[in-house]
Amino acid sequence: MRRSEYPRPNFVRDNWQNLNGTWDFAFDDNNVGHKEKWYKNPCFDLKIEVPFAFQSKLSKINVQEFHDRVWYRRKFKVNKKSADNRIILHIGACDYESEVYINGELVKTHIGGHSSFKVDITDYLNYEEEEIVIFAYDNSTDEFIPRGKQYWKEKNESIYYTRTTGLWQTVWLEEVNEIHVNKVKMTSDIDTGLLYVDLNLSKEADVKLGVKVFDKDELIANNLYSLNGINTKFVLDIFQNKIMNTVTHHRGKTWSPENPYLFDIEFTLYQNEEVIDKVKSYFGMRKIHVQEGVVYLNNRPYYQKLILDQGYYEDGLLTAPTDQDLINDILLAKEMGFNGCRKHQVVSDPRFLYHADRLGFLVWGEMANCANFSTDYIGNFINEWEEVIQRDYNHPSIVCWVPLNESWGTPNIDINSLEQHLSLTLYNLTKSIDKTRLVVSNDGWEHTVSDLCTIHNYNHGGPNESTKHQVYAEALQNKENILSYMPAGRNIYAGSFKYRGEPILLTEFGGITFDNSINGWGYSSVKDEATFLKEYERLINAIKASDCIVGFCYTQLTDVFQEKNGLLTFDRKFKADPKEIKKINDHLPLMAKKQKSKNRFEV
């Protein structure tokens, strides 16, 4: 099974080549590959299907024991359209440390298992038969690298799953002119109807830039700019005082889950009247902010009904078997009445974000966390997180960034000032790169400075635990109860940090399993579908009865290995009637109620 779709759908060029497929492969358990120069004289004894990790079924290796050093190799040919053009190699994701060799020469090193990277390989090509070799090192037991849900033991257990080592997203080539559009950052402002564009070229050049914006089939902007340098900034008038009701929730041309309105945009570079580069993209006019304890989408109070999505697939692990699987996950969640997801402890595939953009699905972008704290890992963690934010900035579906979850990687943040400073650094770094989105400092508990107060509560009991029912309902009833509640024995705010009027959301709860689940567990259990629906409604009603909760995230979309607590099975089959789940979710308002509060915290 080959992943052959275009891997970067919000920045498209026509001239590209997919390198997924069958590669030669080898384990290097004795760490001799570099000494024996496998990058020059590879003789690999296995075959693997890229981009699937060797631990997955779809890799056609499917072994889960520790193999921390792995090598890949394949041959390819390059047929350039122009002799002066450059060939760029892209790696969607390779976990964790990577080395890339072209025809025996090292061309790139990269640290980070969830972010993308690229390298110009033109000067290393021979234009006959090329050879690429990739080495990956992923220390299976290292607690100080961002691993998310990847377990540091060989067998899955508890909330941890199978590891992903090496390549797990698409490897591809594109041909570009030496002078080309390197990066575009687009920021929408629905209050003025303007789009702010920050464009970066590959090198300083005296060129012209043509920009076209399309509202469906209508050309609404056609501008030509003279450039002389690497960076340029300009503003496009999108609404042009012609579009009525632009900031209402259901109508107009702002982006929302109910109305995922997108504009197409094209960037064309000209040198001496000749087209030297052309990029197609899109954007949505969308605003997210908080005010007086409420989250606003496009200037209207908005109730987020999210589902926790671990991003795992039974046969592909963190790599979706097909592009349609990414689409289906969104459609299945929407069918149950959810308007978004919290992508949990994994960075979303750009294809998932593309489908969320066009189908209308909110996404909380989350970083995979470390298991423990060390000052030695901070630089690598921050660099990778910054790469993720920069790569995914233009997706309108992303409304919130979550650098930390449940104090993972910062286990003593309540009392350790170093860990508190890391949380503050990640918050401020994220806001310095992206002022347009909300940032949660530490989802679940022990917040420092945060745009949202997000809380996890699994203490809701099962069908026959009436005492826990009451405790759960009372814990959510009002701000005083919520802020004094200690989930997992943790304070809601770390150390001396205090609540400042942020909107309050319950971002993990539920996880109900069925008694007939085999070799698995949930946070509570029911015997049948009817009982499940009653329990689900009870949990949602407690949220609805709260006088301060303005959104939620239910655990979770699917079963994942031993965790049998999804609304869907691991192979994406409904456990309960989705119409009934949607009916319960629809009892909550689309628009969050504006809270009466003297506090005002605006982002």
Taking residue 495's Cβ as centre, other Cβ atoms within 10 Å add up to: 15
Within 417-488, strands assigned E span 438-439, 453-456
Instruction: State what percent of residues in the chain have pLDDT above 90.
Output: 91
DSSP letter (8 states) at residue 165? -
| Residue 530, CB-side half-sphere exposure with 13 Å CA sphere | 0
- Note whether 506 and 455 are within 8 A (CB): yes
pLDDT for 241 equals: 77
DSSP letter (8 states) at residue 600? -
Tell how strand 304-309 and strand 300-301 pair up. Answer: unpaired
pLDDT one-digit tens code per residue, 215-268: 999 999 999 999 988 999 999 999 987 755 445 444 579 999 999 999 999 999
**323: pLDDT strictly greater than 90:** yes
Within 482-521, strands assigned E span 504-508, 512-514
pLDDT for 517 equals: 64
- Note whether 267 and 281 are within 8 A (CB): yes
Taking residue 238's Cβ as centre, other Cβ atoms within 10 Å add up to: 24
**600: pLDDT strictly greater than 80:** no
Written in H, E and C, the secondary structure of 200-255 is EEEEEEEEEEEEEEEECCEEEEEEEEEEEEEEEEEEEECCCCCCCCCCCCCCCCCE
pLDDT for 249 equals: 41
Residue among 485, 563, 555 nearest 521 (CA): 563
pLDDT for 248 equals: 47
CA distance 600 to 603: 10
pLDDT for 589 equals: 67
Cα separation of the two ends of the chain: 45
pLDDT-wise least confident of 59-73, 107-121, 512-526, 579-593:
579-593
Unique residue bearing structure tokens 């998310």: 148
**310: pLDDT strictly greater than 70:** yes
Chain-centre distance of CA 55, in angstroms?
A: 22
Give the residue, 492 or 596, on which the prediction is more confident: 492
pTM to 2 decimal places: 0.95
pLDDT for 519 equals: 80
Highest mean pLDDT pick, 80-84, 582-586, 591-595? 582-586
- Give domain limits for the chain: 16-176, 181-283, 304-586
pLDDT one-digit tens code per residue, 362-410: 999 999 999 999 999 999 999 999 999 999 999 999 999 999 999 999 9
**4: pLDDT strictly greater than 80:** yes
**Which numeric CATH code is attached to 181-283?**
2.60.40.10
pLDDT one-digit tens code per residue, 191-215: 999 999 999 999 999 999 999 999 9
pLDDT for 516 equals: 66
Q: Report CA dihedral (534, 536, 538, 543) to the nearest 10 degrees.
A: -160
pLDDT for 590 equals: 58
Architecture of domain 304-586: Alpha-Beta Barrel (3.20)
- Note whether 453 and 499 are within 8 A (CB): yes
pLDDT for 89 equals: 98
CA distance 193 to 235: 10
Kindly tell me the number of DSSP H helices and DSSP E strands found in the chain.
8, 30
**599: pLDDT strictly greater than 80:** no
Tell how strand 304-309 and strand 340-343 pair up. Answer: parallel
Q: Please tell us whether the domain made up of 16-176 is placed in CATH 2.60.120.260.
A: yes
pLDDT one-digit tens code per residue, 395-407: 999 999 999 999 9
pLDDT one-digit tens code per residue, 523-565: 999 999 999 999 999 999 999 999 999 999 999 999 999 999 9
Chain-centre distance of CA 583, in angstroms?
A: 28
Mean pLDDT over the full length of the chain? 94
